[in-house]
Every structure is written in C-alpha cells, then in structure tokens.
Chains A and B, each alone.
Chain A
C-alpha cells in the first residue's frame, strides 16, 4: 500500500486499540505535541462516525422493508 494508506491503517489500529503497547504509547505522546497528527485522528474518527450514520440508515431501510413484507 502507498504511505498515505499505511497511515490510515495505522490510525485505524491505534483507534481500535490494536497496537502493541510500545507503539501505542509512542502514538499517544505524538498526539500531545503534533497538531497535524491530532487532526488526522479527528478526521479518521469523523469518517467512522459518518459510516455509522450511513450504516444506521442502511439498517433502517432493511427494517422498513421487513415490516412491509411481514405486516404491511
């Protein structure tokens, strides 16, 4: 993968608590002083938030169809 994607993957593992302890600590320290890194983390979280909203809409749509099928 190209470096930008590797970084997104790293952020994903960090946010999911899946990094080895040492690496995780390194990331947390970087978060304290690196504003760009803070922004990277915030952007990634916003993206997951958007996916959750889209996912809920998807389920809502499926549930409406189920209702229609069973009780409509």
Chain B
C-alpha cells in the first residue's frame, strides 16, 4: 500500500514540477534547506556549501523526475537529502585529498576540476542565449523543463500548437547552424 501511495505521489510531483515549477520548487526548497544546512554544518561545512549542494541536488532531482520518470519511493526531501549527503561526502574526500597535496599541485588540481569529463570543450549554453529570448524560452521550456507544446504555444501566444512546433524547429535549426559554424571554425 505504501508503495502505491508513493507512486501516485511521484506522478503528481512530476506533473506539479512541469505545470507549476516555481511554486513546487519553492515548497521543496523551503523544506529541504534547513535539513541540508543542519547536516552540512555538522560535517565541516557552511551555509554557502549547503546552498550550492542543495541547488545542484534539486537540478538533478528535476531532471530525474521530469526526464527519466524516476519513481520516488520516498518523499522529495528524503531523496534530495540522500543526494546531498552522498555528494557532500565526496566533496569532503576531495577537499581532504587536496589538502594532502603540496600547494602548487593543489592549485593545478583545482583549475583542472573546471574542465570535468562530461563538460564539452567549450561553453555551449551561450549559443542558446544568442538565439534571443523567444527561441531560448521555447527550446528550454520544451526540451529541458519538459513542458508540453500546448503550454508553450499558450505562453508565447501562438495561434496553435502546429505554429509553435514549426517555430521550435526553426529555433533548433538556428542553434544547430551556429554550433556547427563554431565547431568547424575551432576544431578543423
């Protein structure tokens, strides 16, 4: 019975995140932050650490619930706390390793950390911003925030879903072209 209730709740949280994102995020944030802050302070961290940790965990949570249809077997805050604790443990280990290194090596490791493996070779988010507000909003709303085209069309006052869909593909085409021009210029 417990599982059933939670599955229903998980479906609702996905719906709520997509339909009423800011309010839902605010509710979860309001509950989770004091818990994360308490935990981090007990484990050699400060308020800034707690804030960064929670914000990244909530981004992960959003992506997993909305895109990967994660079925929660616990409340959002329990899930988020789990992510935060794991990541904080790894962060502390990393800091400890860095402290053990001679200072000049430690600096270099910090610089390298900026270019982590799953990051592309150049910053690509600015290419989306370059398309202008309208394209940026449509692309982010549909592909990242997981909104339906009906919602996107309504928000941007398109006559219908079809017109909005054509616009979406035009924006995607422009994005592809600017990325292609850049990568050809820089990597050939």
Contact = CB atoms under 8 A, between A and B. Distances in A.
A59 B30 contact: no
Which of A9, A59, A60 has the most B CB atoms < 10 Å from its CB? A59
A62 B4 CA distance: 32
13 contacts: A8-B169, A50-B127, A50-B175, A51-B140, A55-B144, A58-B145, A59-B58, A60-B55, A62-B22, A62-B25, A63-B29, A66-B29, A70-B26
Interface string A45-58: 01111111111111
Given A5-B169, A59-B62, A67-B33, A54 B26 contact: no
Interface in A5-49: 5, 8-9, 12, 43-44, 46-49
A63 B59 contact: yes
* A: interface residue count bin: 20 to 34
Nearest to A65: B22
Q: Main secondary structure on chain B at its contact with chain A?
A: helix
B169 A54 contact: no
Interface stretch (B93-101, B108-116, B176-184): B176-184
Contacts of A47: 172, 175-176, 179
Given A51-B140, A55-B144, A46 B124 contact: yes
Nearest to B137: A58
Contact of A46 (B26, B30, B59, B179): B179
Interface string B84-106: 00000000000000000000000
Given A50-B175, A53-B125, A59-B62, A69 B26 contact: yes
Contacts of B128: 50-51, 53-54
